[in-house]
Structure 1
Amino acid sequence: MSYNPGITAAPVDSNPSFVEATYSKVTLRLLPLLFLCYVASYLDRVNVGFAKLEMLNDLKFSETVYGFGAGIFFLGYFLFEVPSNVILHKVGARIWIARIMITWGLISGATIFVTTPEMFYVMRFLLGVAEAGFFPGVILYLTYWYPSHRRGNITALFLTAVALSGVIGGLLSGWILHSMSDVYGLAGWQWIFILEAIPSLVLGLFIIFYLKDRIRDAHWLNEEEKQLLEAQVQSEAGQKQSVSMSQMLANPKVWLSAVIYFCFVMGLYGVGFWLPTIIKATGVKDPLNIGILSAIPYAAAAVAMVLVARSSDKHLERRWHVAISAFVGCAGLVLSTVYSHNTLLAMICLTVATMGTMATLPLFWSLPTSFLGGTAAAAGIALINSLGNLSGFVSPSLIGWLKDLTQSTNSGMFVLAACLLLGGLLTLTVPARLVNK
């Protein structure tokens, strides 16, 4: 990231109304596009959870095969996450994020050709390789535009895309399975992969012409606004550690952050990949009704994410907001097993679990972005995200194995609940002075 040497002309404590107007302008320009991109990303990542409702029967796959295939995505993601984010830092977000989205759209759409477990594994692995670097790249990109005291709310707004994709994905996937089966000779699960890949391809092409890599490149900002933004970002940059890759890897705070994130993502993908199956197990059979019901927890989670993040920014407190959210998610998952045979009560508990689990995510990123800067931030954020997302491999694989073993998802939900509890407790070990700002 380069900065204009004349930034001292715009002090960090500029007129508050001008500051707010400038940041509103930036947010309206950047966030809607990034938000839509993440909706498309998450949709293509977890739509296999709905495809599963028909795919397993058509292809004669076991629950274990599905769980391993759903999770192997994250091995490809893990292997290529750090180099992808470092490349983004070097070549710029515009070209690299566009490349990521176009390739993952093509691979996701090509999943319709899967006929064997081995082909399923390969396509899911390649999807992970293609998508590696997108999420941490956006988190890094936001640090180029916003200081830390603004990133909690901005990151929460961005991450509500996960919740919205759950709403859209549930309704859309349920409708596709209900209405598109055997259209032009294709199964409903194949139409899910075809139709839900289109937004990624369109948005990837749009990014090339719309996104700007740096504040200095933004033609839609005047000089005073550019200087203000650069001054605010640079004033914070001096407080971060701009360290070498080896120093970053030796930093215990990086590894603690990775473990905490691993625990939270266990809960996220446990819900994401298995929610349709859990709802079906309560007695709901029609795919359209399953889709409608699966949208409810995500809609509630979107509201919870924003409200919790705003509270955190207002009080400049991070740890307890993250920890309490994790504890709420833990309780919701446990209670969902207690009432697993009552659709209404199970849905209430799953909604609480989703709200708590997803509210942890935007505030979690206040930890590593508070102490990492420069190339260390690019590599550190990617390392934390890739290690954390290995839980995306462990979670569906473990639940699939446990479901085949016990003929129930309850034992898997207990494991996910324990992970959320551990993640919340570990968050409280992070020094408050480091992240409460």
Structure 2
Amino acid sequence: MEIIAKPHDAALDRATVESRAYAKATVRLLPFLFLCYVAAYLDRVNVGFAKLQMLNDLAFSETVYGLGAGIFFIGYFLFEVPSNIIMHRVGARVWIARIMITWAVISAASLFVKTPTAFYVMRFLLGVAEAGFFPGIVLYLTYWFPAKRRGRMNALFMIGIPIAGVVGGPVSGWIMNAFQGVGGWSNWQWLFLLEAIPSAVLGVVTLCYLPNGIRAASWLSDEEKDVLAANIERDNTGKTHGTLAGVFADARIWKMAAIYFCCMMGLYGISFYLPTLVKATGVKNALDVGLLTAIPYLCAVASMFFVARSADRTGERRWHFAVPAVLAGAGLFASTQLTGNIPLAMVALTVGTAGMLATMPVFWTYPSAILAGGSAAAAIGMINSIGNLAGFVSASIIGWMKDVTHSTNAGIYCVAGALVFGAVLALLQPRKLVNRAD
């Protein structure tokens, strides 16, 4: 006698397949993407450690450093949207590999910098090379995970930022201590060379390892592919699939870009100047500076995942961005008032760093809640490129103000204010827009 499966049993079977498929995708993709982001972020911000010796060796002013650190984002801005659109068309595997290999070569070549002009050129080219990596991965995750899972997946990828700080701080400090004068090179030259190697290796591995999408994943069964693809198709229902011109004309995207700009003011203010801020508390040894900079980033790992998980569980996105942003601004402001008191200053810097980084996974659920396909590719690239101009602004402002006032405090006040303003803008977002997945 033929046994007919009950609808309830079929639903259970589908849920089992879905759970198994997402577990596979998470384990296969997120650790690798996380490692790639650690390498990317380390190459982007290791100039903050190089600064500790580079400025003396090359007789650069704080203004030169700030402009050079920030000019990275001009190249990044100009090539971000085209890069994301190209990736959407040619596939993630080849394009992400291309990005990683070229930025590794340029980062390593920065060791030959001798003049301010050469410094500016290399930082600009590094921005051009890296353009598209972060928004490309954010877009790539939308190919795999629906909105209700995306905050946590974003967090698992983006904790590469604090982990880069946890690992990169001590490693960079050790390189700065151990390699001074080796082979006739200064320690900052070795820093650029040695920290570029992981990116080059991972770029080559990407060509062999990363599937372009669900259908290209050999480690998923046909049934698992069907379930995941159906979920993405359902998730994209009702979202905008417009033109590039339509994306640029969409006021919602510009508002999101403004929020992200404020967020990035905080990120790069911390990234480029955290070693300097720690040193200002009275710590002199480069290795000790590196070890202490790891503390805020380590706490940020927990804050990012906790806030993203809470946002996914509740479906609430505005307050999950705003509260950490305000705490970040308060922490950075407090750190300027506590120089000379290392424990309290480190607590303040930890609150600032953990709060600021906790905003990022939540924010990146915003654009994918309303856009899909090519529109999402363009919008994510546009938001990220505009937002990352804050890296140029924050680094330049802090560097210039330090030359003028002989203190980083005024620049940090600007960064803290931007974070609070970003929180206000996030709360002004329509609830139904950003909480779409609840």
TM (normalized to structure 1)? 0.96
Aligned to 2:68: 69
Aligned to 1:381: 380
Aligned to 1:392: 391
1:228 maps onto 2:234 in alignment: no
Aligned to 1:155: 154
Report the CA distance shift for 1:150/1:13 in structure 2 as closer, same or farther (over 3 A): farther
Aligned to 1:184: 183
Amino acid at match of 1:396: A
Q: What is the distance in 2 between the residues matched to 1:113 and 1:171? A: 24
Aligned to 2:258: 259
The superposition leaves residues 225-258 of structure 1 with CA deviations (integer Å, 9 ceiling, x where unpaired) of 0000000000011221000111111110000000
Aligned to 2:4: none
Report the CA distance shift for 1:194/1:338 in structure 2 as closer, same or farther (over 3 A): same
1:350 maps onto 2:327 in alignment: no
Q: What is the distance in 2 between the residues matched to 1:246 and 1:123? A: 32
SS of aligned partner of 1:276: helix
Q: 1:116 deviation in Å?
A: 0.3
1:109 maps onto 2:108 in alignment: yes
Q: What is the distance in 2 between the residues matched to 1:16 and 1:414? A: 50
Q: What is the distance in 1 between the residues matched to 2:12 and 2:395? A: 48
The superposition leaves residues 264-290 of structure 1 with CA deviations (integer Å, 9 ceiling, x where unpaired) of 000000000000011111111100000
Amino acid at match of 2:265: M
Aligned to 1:3: none
1:434 maps onto 2:433 in alignment: yes
Q: What is the distance in 1 between the residues matched to 2:205 and 2:402? A: 42
CA contact (8 A) 1:12 1:231 kept: no
Q: What is the distance in 2 between the residues matched to 1:70 and 1:14? A: 53
Q: What is the distance in 1 between the residues matched to 2:235 and 2:176? A: 49
Aligned to 2:3: none
CA contact (8 A) 2:17 2:227 kept: no
Aligned to 1:7: none
Q: 1:15 deviation in Å?
A: 3.5
Aligned to 1:83: 82
Q: What is the distance in 1 between the residues matched to 2:237 and 2:348? A: 45
Aligned to 2:301: 302
CA contact (8 A) 1:212 1:218 kept: yes
Q: What is the distance in 1 between the residues matched to 2:235 and 2:377? A: 16
The superposition leaves residues 173-220 of structure 1 with CA deviations (integer Å, 9 ceiling, x where unpaired) of 000011111111111101100100000000000000011102111111
Amino acid at match of 2:360: L
Amino acid at match of 2:401: L
Q: 1:14 deviation in Å?
A: 6.0
SS of aligned partner of 2:182: coil
Aligned to 2:289: 290
CA contact (8 A) 2:62 2:399 kept: yes
Unaligned 5+ segments in structure 2 are 1-9
Q: What is the distance in 2 between the residues matched to 1:368 and 1:320? A: 17
Aligned to 1:421: 420
Q: What is the distance in 1 between the residues matched to 2:200 and 2:175? A: 19
Unaligned 5+ segments in structure 1 are 1-10
CA contact (8 A) 1:265 1:389 kept: yes
Aligned to 1:327: 326
CA contact (8 A) 1:12 1:228 kept: no
Q: 1:341 deviation in Å?
A: 2.2
CA contact (8 A) 1:12 1:235 kept: no
CA contact (8 A) 1:267 1:419 kept: yes
Aligned to 1:202: 201
Q: 1:338 deviation in Å?
A: 1.3
Aligned to 1:213: 212
CA contact (8 A) 2:104 2:196 kept: yes
Aligned to 1:6: none
Amino acid at match of 2:308: A
Q: What is the distance in 1 between the residues matched to 2:245 and 2:169? A: 43
Identity %: 57
The superposition leaves residues 149-170 of structure 1 with CA deviations (integer Å, 9 ceiling, x where unpaired) of 1000000111000000011110
Report the CA distance shift for 1:12/1:342 in structure 2 as closer, same or farther (over 3 A): farther
Aligned to 2:164: 165
Amino acid at match of 1:20: S
Q: What is the distance in 1 between the residues matched to 2:328 and 2:90? A: 38
Q: 1:372 deviation in Å?
A: 1.0
Amino acid at match of 1:167: V
Aligned to 2:117: 118
Aligned to 2:366: 367
Amino acid at match of 1:211: L
Amino acid at match of 1:196: E
Q: 1:12 deviation in Å?
A: 9.2
CA contact (8 A) 1:12 1:232 kept: no
The superposition leaves residues 73-105 of structure 1 with CA deviations (integer Å, 9 ceiling, x where unpaired) of 000000000101100000000000000000000
Report the CA distance shift for 1:412/1:179 in structure 2 as closer, same or farther (over 3 A): same
Q: What is the distance in 1 between the residues matched to 2:310 and 2:12? A: 23
The size of the alignment, in residue pairs, is: 427
Amino acid at match of 2:136: G
**Root-mean-square deviation (Å):** 1.1
